[in-house]
Amino acid sequence: MGTWSGHGSSQTDTFEMGFAQWRVKWKATGAKGNFKLTANSAVSGRPITELAEHEGPGEGIGYVNDDPRQYYLVIDTSDLDWTVTVEQSIITGGR
C-alpha cells in the first residue's frame, strides 16, 4: 500500500485504507534513541492505535483493526533512521 523512510520525527502522507484490518512493518536503525509509531485518522487527526514503542534499533509489525478511512502514520524519534511499510493483512480461513 505504501512505504516511507526517513530520519527523526515525521509523519507520512495521507493514505486511503479500504480494509478494517491492516498492518505496518517497521524498522529503525542507528546508534540509539527511542522509536514510537502511531496510526492516526486523517479525518479527525486523533491517534487510532500505537503500533510500536521501542528503545534503540529494532523492527516489528503492528496491526490496526478499525473502520476503513484515510490515515497517516506519525513517527516519533530523534536519532534513528526508519522505514515503515503499510500492507493489508491477509486473513485466512476455510469453509
* Residue ranges per structural domain of the chain: 2-88
Q: Is residue 65 within 8 Å of 24, Cβ to Cβ? A: no
Per-residue pLDDT of the chain (95 residues; tens, 9 = 90+): 899 999 999 999 999 998 889 999 999 999 889 999 999 999 999 999 999 999 999 999 999 999 999 999 999 998 899 999 999 876 554 44
Determine the pLDDT at residue 95. 45
Assigned CATH class of 2-88: mainly beta
Any residues with CB less than 8 A from the CB of 6 and at least 6 apart, and which?
75, 81, 82
Which is it for strands 47-55 and 81-88: parallel, antiparallel or unpaired? unpaired
Q: Is residue 85 within 8 Å of 25, Cβ to Cβ? A: yes
pTM for the whole thing?
0.89
Determine the pLDDT at residue 10. 96
- Tell me how far CA of residue 86 lies from CA of 19, 31, 38, 67, 95, in angstroms: 12, 25, 12, 16, 28
